[in-house]
Structure 1
Amino acid sequence: MSRYTEIRSFALIAEKGSFAAAAQVEGVTPIILGRRLDALEKRLGVRLMHRSTRGLTLTDLGEQFLEQCKQLLHDFEMAEASISDQHNAMRGHLVVSAPASFGRQHVAPHVLEFKKRYPDLRLSFNFTDSVIDLVREGYDMGIRVGAVYDPNYVAVRLFPNQRVVCGTPDYFARYGVPLQPEELVQHNCLAFNQQGGQQHGWTFLRDGQMFSVRVQGDLDCNDGELLYDWVKQGWGIGWRSTWEIQAEIKRGELVTVLDDYAISDYDIQAVYQQQRYLPAKIRVFTDYLRQIYNQPGYWEQG
């Protein structure tokens, strides 16, 4: 009987609290697990568990040994996973979700080069502005713009981003520059709609506190690219991400206002489910995009 098998069985018995429950997970009989624990205790010369009709309890030495066993098992499994990943790393199927406009502009153009590097990996993409449950709908990962609060997901920042108010110089010359977020009610704000009305207010930060201003305008739409096009034509002002306006800012076609109130935690992030071992296909694609996005001048190219 291997030492690894004894240690793994001991940790499983401690976790489940009974031989019967651990045996069901292990796929053996409780008698076999009992023999493994006996062999481990005999070899160590100490008692690890008190066994009675009331159940199982760890001895002081058992609790100490359990923590060490957990670390050993973790290291062993990580070593196995590392070798397995290197052998099968970039095979299989990677399924990715991203916001529609961002996906078309900043994910799709880089897909074919990634495919050339890893020809055995099948790639699937869904570009949509709908909020997707990655796990339920079968996605390996998603690209998100904005904060991620779900503790079941890991969020890795690909590039810093803010949400800012912007418009053309001509618009602000005609209608004035808002100095406080509350002054936006006096402006034609072009925002996303939901069933014909403004979906949400625009969110700002003042003295460390977030707050929203309910905006209104004579044009609204559920298509972010169309809204942005209207802003660039001077029909009103928009609340846009810095990733999408850098080229126009550099050319002087757009200017930002209320920058002192902009929320800063609106980063571009790779998001995936919390999991014990991160598949190499997710890690490599995340690193690939992060390297591209952090190239000097990338976002100013438009």
Structure 2
Amino acid sequence: MSRYNDLELFTCIVRKNSLVGAGRELGITGAAVSKRLMALEERLGVRLVQRTTRTLRITPEGERYLQEGKRLLSELDELEQTLRGVTARPAGLLRVNASLGFGRAFVSALLGEFAANYPELEVQLHLSDRPLNLVEEGYDIGIRVGELQDTRLHARKLRSNRRCICAAPAYLDKFGTPANLNELSAHSVIVLHENEQTFGTWHLQNEGRRETLKVRARMSTNDGETALAWALSGFGLLLRSEWSVQNLLADGSLRPVLPEWYEPADVYAVYPNQDHLSAKTRAFIDFIAAHPVIAG
């Protein structure tokens, strides 16, 4: 049997959660399924499924084999459709990594809307406070905010964005509003520590000028919502993305501080391979880039 036959066998076993059920679907006996599964595990040198008389439980190694296997089967099916001249529709497993804040605010809803358009598609969204290695972790797409660190990845800009300095009126009324960058050192700052950025460092620019500042962090967190709540409570200055604070600035809950200074933080879709993008990956990137919520 080919390795792709082994993948199809294993995905069927997991889907049916039964050796007999998998055999029934594949047109072979449960004993034959068991024999092929044991041969597969022996070849791989790992246990894929823990078996008892009543239940099947997939192991961590089995879960990894399943997820990567689904991807390979989907790509093979897509290749065959392309060679037959059939337009490939998004199908299989789409794995997306995004930042906590932007992922919650935008990506989760957009991914759900996208999945609703393609019933054959499965989606997984992993939100993290720092970008994951897409290749090693097996992700199709990463949604990144700010400077891109991994130059090996291909990127498509989704929207312009900048981080601006702001604070609650209560804080500014009590401690004053900084008139220039030098006065920032006298203020308490709430630091949002994410990605691989140097802690407590702001990289600001104003037209052609660039300044790197070390700020005094009174409070810090890796969660943007927590940082924003502290700022609204008057604990200090906060550097936060415009998409996160624009409504709060508009209604006066926050005030801008040194609005001419900002940190660039454009939003990108990043992916490992530009030449052989799957239909699901290409379709989702096109969908999210054109969506009015992102494109404005």
SS where residue 218 of structure 1 aligns? strand
Residues 178-230 of structure 1 show CA distances to partners (whole Å, capped at 9, x for unaligned) of: 12222211111011359xxx813111125635332111143222322211110
Q: What is the match of residue 134 of structure 2?
A: 134
Residues 143 and 269, structure 1, Cα contact 8 Å, conserved in 2? yes
SS where residue 286 of structure 2 aligns? helix
Alignment of 1:40-59 (within 5 A): none
Alignment of 1:187-226 (within 5 A): 187-192=187-192, 199-206=199-206, 208-226=208-226
Alpha-carbon RMSD across the aligned residues, in angstroms, is 2.5
- Aligned partner of 1:213: which letter? L
Residues 81 and 277, structure 1, Cα contact 8 Å, conserved in 2? no
Residues 18-43 of structure 1 show CA distances to partners (whole Å, capped at 9, x for unaligned) of: xxxxxxxxxxxxxxxxxxxxxxxxxx
SS where residue 281 of structure 2 aligns? helix
- CA apart distance, 1:285: 1.1
Q: What is the match of residue 299 of structure 1?
A: none
- Aligned partner of 2:281: which letter? I
Residues 182 and 213, structure 1, Cα contact 8 Å, conserved in 2? no
In structure 2, what is the Cα distance between the partners aligned to 1:220 and 1:257? 19
- CA apart distance, 1:113: 2.0
In structure 2, what is the Cα distance between the partners aligned to 1:241 and 1:135? 28
Q: What is the match of residue 97 of structure 1?
A: 97
Q: What is the match of residue 176 of structure 2?
A: 176
**TM-score of the two chains, using structure 1 as the length reference:** 0.64
SS where residue 179 of structure 1 aligns? coil
Q: Gapped runs of 5+ residues in structure 2?
A: 1-78
Identity, in percent, stands at 32
**TM-score of the two chains, using structure 2 as the length reference:** 0.65
- CA apart distance, 1:145: 0.3
SS where residue 205 of structure 1 aligns? strand
- CA apart distance, 1:126: 0.3
Q: What is the match of residue 286 of structure 1?
A: 285
The 1:151/1:221 distance shift into structure 2, 3 A limit, reads closer
Q: How many residues align?
A: 214
In structure 1, what is the Cα distance between the partners aligned to 2:243 and 2:206? 23
Alignment of 1:259-278 (within 5 A): 259-264=259-264, 266-278=265-277
Q: Gapped runs of 5+ residues in structure 1?
A: 1-78, 297-302
In structure 2, what is the Cα distance between the partners aligned to 1:138 and 1:112? 20
